[in-house]
Amino acid sequence: MSSAAAKPILYSYFRSSCSWRVRIALALKGISYDLVPVNLLKDGGQQFSAEFKAVNPMQQVPALKIDGITLSQSLAIIHYLEDICPNPRLLPQDPKKRAQVRMIADHIVSGIQPLQNLSVLKQIGEKKMEWAQNCIASGFQALEQILQHTAGRYCVEDEVSMADLCLVPQVSNAERYKVDMSPYPTITRINKALLELEAFKVSHPSRQPDTPAELRA
């Protein structure tokens, strides 16, 4: 079997929201893959190993080996999957809706998630819970307003898009950091609708090969 036709390999951590985005995309597009768990906490963080640094010099998950190349950064990976496997599409055809999807995805992947990432929280120290809550809450206040203009059943009208793949893992982070979700009814409603979809269920952190027994669904 040539390397080009080999099964994709996803380097993932069950609790990583960035990895979850990619797992959802792979599930939606029906692409089967082998999973290599990278435990971000064990052994001082397996992402810092020389072996993994060779896979992704940024020492972050996810990374995807596919079609003879290695990709890191969740949105770059999802864009590639969209290019090679356009159905079901994760970017609307209409340019305005497409821009809205990208805007919402960017709000989450650039404006919220990195600020409450594990590496940042390590630097913050004792106040990390409060820090994470504040970062997520200020991001969600903006996102709630945006979604009130763009949402149908999902983030942008009624089709699942790249924006939704970013939203669900971020809400999961918010719940983990005990953010009060009551001010964000639109976010909450969309999240609930998405979690009913099979691709979001199978990719869930509670159902991964590396999920600890006590956190399994």
> Do 8-88 and 95-200 come out as alike in CATH topology?
no
- Write down the domain spans for the chain: 8-88, 95-200
Contacts of 139 (CB under 8 A, 6+ apart): 107, 108, 111, 112, 115
Residue-level pLDDT at 144: 98
pLDDT number for residue 217: 83
Length of the chain in terms of residues written? 217
pLDDT the model gives residue 10: 98
CA–CA separation, 79 and 140 (whole Å): 24
What's the confidence (pLDDT) of residue 1?
A: 43
Taking the C-alpha atoms of residue 84 and residue 81, their distance in angstroms, rounded to an integer, is 5
Here the tokens at position 162 are 């790249």
Amino acid 34: pLDDT: 97
pLDDT score recorded for residue 2: 47
* Tokens matching residue 82: 């969209």
Q: By three-state DSSP, how is residue 146 classified?
A: helix
Positions in the chain short of pLDDT 70: 1-5
Q: Is the pTM of this model over 0.75?
A: yes
Q: What pLDDT is attached to residue 12?
A: 97
CB contact set of 114 (below 8 Å; sequence gap of 6+): 120
Record: fold of 95-200: Glutathione S-transferase Yfyf (Class Pi); Chain A, domain 2 (1.20.1050)
8-88 folds as Glutaredoxin (3.40.30)
Choose among 161, 154, 144, 13: nearest CA to 75: 161
SS3 content of the chain, % helix, strand, coil (to 5): 60, 10, 35
Which residues fall within 8 angstroms of residue 92, CB to CB, at 6 or more apart? 98, 101, 156, 157, 159, 161
